[in-house]
């Protein structure tokens, strides 16, 4: 390759990287810079009130779309009331900084086990609710509920 081709390719690469930085609003250096992940003066970096409002709105929307019968309401209330995050605490970063690498990994593993237990409990409640739904309601539920870890993205969109 001659020097001109290399220069053009380097320029294209720089332009592509710059475009991605521009698309993100110029904030690529700090993973915690966003309002949901750590920026601002919110507890633990997350705006808990805003997240709760979003969750409540999503649950109300789901309830309306499912068109539940009175017989299904008890199972819905149990499902809607379950909070898989309640009772699990994120480790304090200041405390984690005091630990050595193996100790931090042990703490992470403990938290992972807590979350696994909560997820199993959530699955049991979800299965109980899902069992009382009609096949049509199950399809609506499947379409509306994101997969774990999907961060709000839904299948088919």
The pLDDT, as a whole number, for residue 67 is: 94
Question: Is it the case that residue 78 has pLDDT exceeding 80?
Answer: yes
What span, in angstroms and rounded, lies between the C-alpha atoms of 90 and 108? 9
Better-scored residue on pLDDT, 101 or 148: 101
How many other β-carbons are positioned within 10 Å of the β-carbon of residue 4? 8
User: Residue 57 above 50 pLDDT?
Assistant: yes
| Reported pTM | 0.59
Q: pLDDT for 10-44, tens place per residue?
A: 776 776 666 555 555 544 444 444 444 444 444 44
Q: How distant, in Å, are the alpha carbons of 24, 138, 143 from that of 125?
A: 38, 15, 18
Tell me the average pLDDT across 39-58: 69
Residue 93 has pLDDT above 80, yes or no: yes
Give the Cβ contact number of residue 129 at 10 Å.
21
Tracing tokens 């069992």 back to the chain, one arrives at 131
């Amino acid at each position: 390759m001659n020097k001109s081709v290399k220069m053009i390719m380097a320029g294209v690469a720089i332009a592509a990287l710059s475009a991605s930085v521009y698309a993100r609003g110029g904030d690529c250096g700090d993973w915690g810079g966003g309002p949901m992940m750590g920026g601002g003066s919110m507890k633990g970096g997350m705006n808990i009130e805003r997240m709760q409002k979003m969750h409540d709105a999503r649950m109300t929307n789901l309830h309306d779309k499912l068109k539940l019968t009175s017989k299904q309401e008890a199972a819905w209330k149990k499902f809607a009331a379950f909070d898989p995050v309640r009772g699990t605490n994120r480790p304090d970063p200041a405390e984690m900084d005091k630990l050595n690498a193996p100790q931090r990994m042990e703490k992470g593993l403990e938290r992972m086990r807590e979350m696994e237990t909560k997820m199993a409990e959530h699955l049991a409640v979800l299965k109980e609710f899902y069992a009382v739904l009609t096949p049509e309601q199950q399809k609506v539920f499947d379409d509306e509920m994101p997969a774990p870890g999907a961060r709000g993205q839904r299948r088919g969109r």
